[in-house]
Structure 1
Amino acid sequence: MTAPPRATHPRKVLTVLCTGLFLIGLDVTVMNVALPSLQWDLGPGPQGLLWIADGYTLALACCVLAAGVWSDTHGRRRAFILGLALCGTASVGGGLATGTGQVVAARLAMGCGAALLMPSTLSLITVVFPDLAARRKAVAVWTCVAGLGALGGPVIGGLLVERYGWRAGFWINVPVVVGALAATGRWVPESRHPRPGPLDRAGMGAVTCGVGALVWSIIQGPVRGWTDPGLPRRRSSRAA
């Protein structure tokens, strides 16, 4: 691994990385409390609401492994920046959405951005904190921030939705992303694996599809039933 520059301030780097991680936890749950307001405004059906709430998690679960491999090969700082930019751009799209499909697409894109953010944050911590004791403390802070983001989502989302409407659940990400991007360019060092091995595209695709199918089944199971084959139901030929 490439060592960070000596001018790098580890605590500032940790703050920036934890900001990105807090954004991930926040976006997992922030839209849950906005669903009634969103339903009143856009009128999505039950399936639409389900995908708005869980599409983010599905995209994150599908892409996180491939994103981690990509960040190790092409640069963790680069992956972190791309993840922030994708989350910010998708949040703007969600905030301007006029239909259910646009909101779902924004949530899926935000999940892909989060998949770039999550593994790069932890990998950068191991580079910025080479001392084992300091690294343990940094990872402990990283873990606490991840939990705080998920717990703070409903509270922050409730306050925003009550005052500004469901679109605020998207717009809240924009200033966070802008600030994190500026701080990343100033303090976060670049690092990558010094000798990355060949990319197993077939294996990566199989894992991505397998994880996606598993998470999709968990999301759809309570709605469709755990024994449903997932095929379209034929109409009965019998007359009523």
Structure 2
Amino acid sequence: MRQPFVAGNWKMNGSRDDAGRLLEDLVQGLTPAAREVVVCPPYVYLADAARILKGSEIALGAQNVSEEESGAFTGEVAASMLQDFDCRYVIVGHSERRGLFGESNEIVARKFMAAARQGLRPILCVGETLEQREQDVTEQVIREQLDAVLEAAGVHAFVEAVVAYEPVWAIGTGQTASPEQAQAVHAMIRARVAEVDDTIAGKLRIVYGGSVKASNADELFAMPDIDGGLIGGASLDADSFLSICESAIPADGK
């Protein structure tokens, strides 16, 4: 059985004091259970987060990583640097990185590989815009995003990775794909990986990232191919995020 996975992507929000309070509340409030929980604060708070989370049930992740290992790349952060702060996960290919910063499928694939080389577990984001959904090219777009990584890194790189399906039209808009819509895309992603390796596909955790809230998490996480969530705005509120984490606990608790 795949272990459910919930990650909080704080994006560029909060202050040092806010981050410390939120982390303390999460550490104190999280119930130990058979699911994995990760928080991804801004780079500048990683050191504080590593200290507060040490020995807790919550793993640390970063929101982005350079495709380069080192060198004259002002403003970039290498995967090896994230390792220095006990990061276990890193988000690559988030729609905001693709859309606002022009990251291509090829750049995302290079970031995925850079993270994996350093032992970080990539959270690979894929998803379509509203225009692409209306043009009925969702599957084509997501296959291209997946294939860029499969071809560059190989299917075995997905053993430690997580894939996050995030319909761009549902991020920060309050709109959410219906559980059935989300399940259909998750099943398609798993089927695409299964074309290369059925065993890896069966074990691959695929999570949903599109305005997940405490009020809709139960319904979404009940779908057979939805293994948890990549949470944006709701991860900035301890009560909301903890409630979503509770929704990810398997019914048998195992």
What TM-score, normalized to structure 2? 0.23
The structure with more radius of gyration:
1
Bigger share in helix? 1
What TM-score, normalized to structure 1? 0.24
Higher RCO structure, 1 or 2 (CA under 8 Å, sep 6+):
1
